[in-house]
Structure 1
Amino acid sequence: MSVSRISSRSRRLNKAQKLSVAGVSTLAAAALAFSLVPNDASATTEPQAASAAAPVAYTGSQAKSLQAGAIEQNSTAEQLVKAADAAKAKDAAEKKKAAAKAAAKAKAVAEAKSEAAAKAKADAKKRAAKKASRAADRKPVYANNLDGWIREALAIMDKKNIPGTYEGLHRNIIRESSGDPRAINNWDINAINGVPSKGLLQVIKPTFDFYHVKGTKHDQYDPVANITAAANYAADKYGSIDNVDSAY
């Protein structure tokens, strides 16, 4: 073999060796990168385990990529927190709005009930007034005679809680004046003293003035005024006009 052939083969072998070394280096780097990813222990080979034990060196681009990933994760976390806070604030605002709406509705219902109650009260007052007016319109008209005077007097006495009956009044009227509303006694001691007895039940002026019943005429000769004043006096002195059977 010539020297030139040996030299050429040596050059070719050196080139192949170089390629083989480069291939091994590439495989080693791939194994190192692969060792960073967790894997099943049974599938890990001894060369890979040896490679994992070696410190990992990152290139500048890899470090920047990792930093960018961390920043992106932090940004995503912050966005999630902000979104949660916004959702919480929105929920609170909606609850507050619903509470205000419910309060307004309750207030409106209460006001409506109050207005309805006030209206019902006013209507009841109007009905009572109308009823009273009708009752006034239906005020009985008493005859202008002894029977009518006694009945009218009894109605007034009933309102004023003055005791007495038709029979008691009628009996004493007949005895005292025979039913004459203008009757006057000019001969007894009262007449001598200047205060004669007058009217249906022969009442003197001081007694009439003291026992006069409000709502009747202030006139001794008025039949109804005379009867009610005399009955009021008899109730005070004897318990009732019914208990009087003689001069009183």
Structure 2
Amino acid sequence: MRSTVSGYSALSKAHKFSAAGLVTVAGAAALTFALVPQAQAADVQSAGVKTVSLSAQEFGVTQDGELAKAADDAAGQAQVKAKAAVKAEVKAKADAADRERASRSEARKPMKPAAKPAAKPAPAKPAAKAAAAPVKKAYADNLDGWISESLDILRAKGIPASYDGIKRNIMRESTGNPQAINDWDVNAVNGVPSKGLLQIIDPTFKAYHVEGTSWNIYDPVANITASCNYAADKYGSMDNVNSAY
């Protein structure tokens, strides 16, 4: 049954139910059911249902397309995520393999020897002892020893003489007595007697004394050394003296 409002006719109760059903299916399609002029009510009733049916079909196609597109997008995103996961897994495995190789390489490296402890400083050497004085050569306390010792001193000083020349003159002058003294010749008369093995007077002994020997005119070595020094100066060597000199 129809009702009329201000010259417009409304849809029947059955049409309203049909429209409500379409709204439930298609959403905004119910908006097509606006009030129309009364003159066109019958046409609207038939044409309106048909129009709504077409709109619902078209809406369904559109909705299916969007759902399909959404499904494709979701599938694409899932595929991208799956590829990313696979890529991440491959990278993780590669990183783990690199770490394993590095660990094995480090394990094969020879171990560095432990640092040697700092060497202890060498103990200070005791100060070198002063050079020991040369051992004095031992000479016999007799004529042979006296001549030998005197000859070593004469050679060190560069004064010429020989064992035979010295001994020959000693035997003539004093017969080998180091305490011999002449108290009768001209020297004795003048107050300067000849003394010792080679009968030398005090002034001559002092003038030709050789450093390193005694200043005692009766000392055998000092007497021989001073006498040879005097003979070398006056005669070239004691070897050249064959009489009183």
Structure-1-length-normalised TM-score: 0.50
- Amino acid of the structure 2 residue aligned with 1:178: T
How large is the RMSD of aligned CA atoms in angstroms? 4.1
Residue 129, structure 1, aligned to residue 132, structure 2: yes
Aligned residues between the structures: 162
Q: Is 2:215 the partner of 1:171? A: no
Match for residue 140 of structure 1? 138
Report the Cα offset of residue 164 of structure 1.
1.6
2-structure distance, mates of 1:221, 1:15: 161
**CA deviations over 1:87-110 (Å, ceiling 9, x no partner):** xxxxxxxxxxxxxx99x97xx69x
> Which 5+ residue runs of structure 1 have no aligned equivalent?
31-100
Structure (1 or 2) with the larger CA radius of gyration: 2
Amino acid at match of 1:211: Y
Q: Distance in 1 between matches of 2:237 and 2:57?
A: 159
Secondary structure, aligned partner of 1:129: coil
Residues 139 and 146 of structure 2 are in contact (CA less than 8 Å); yes or no, is this contact kept in structure 1? no
What is the deviation of 1:153? 2.3
- Whether the 8 Å contact between 1:150 and 1:224 is mirrored in structure 2 is yes
> CA offset at residue 206 of structure 1?
1.6
The aligned counterpart of 2:225 is 228
Q: Is the 8 A contact 2:178 2:196 kept in 1?
A: yes
Q: How far apart are the structure 2 equivalents of 1:14 and 1:148?
A: 156
**Deviation, structure 1 residue 174:** 1.8
Is the CA contact 1:173–1:201 (under 8 Å) kept in the aligned structure 2?
Answer: yes
2:239 match: 242
1:142 and 1:152 in contact (8 A); partners too: no
Using the TM superposition, give the Cα deviation of residue 159 of structure 1 relative to its aligned residue in structure 2, in angstroms: 3.9
In the alignment, structure 2 segments of 5+ residues that lack a partner are: 1-44, 75-114
Name the structure 2 match of 1:76: none
1:10 aligns with 2:13: no
Show the counterpart of 1:35: none
Amino acid at match of 1:157: L
Could you say which structure has the higher strand fraction?
2
Which of 182, 195, 198 is the equivalent residue of 2:195?
Answer: 198
Identity of aligned residues (%): 51
Alpha carbons of structure 1 residues 158 and 4: separation in structure 2 relative to 1, 3 Å:
same
- Offset, 1:208: 0.7
1:142: Cα distance to partner? 1.0
- Kept in 1: contact 2:139–2:148 (CA 8 A): no
Does the CA contact (< 8 Å) of 2:173 and 2:198 recur in 1? Answer: yes
Superposed displacement of residue 23, structure 1 = 6.5
TM-aligned CA deviation for residue 157 of structure 1: 2.9
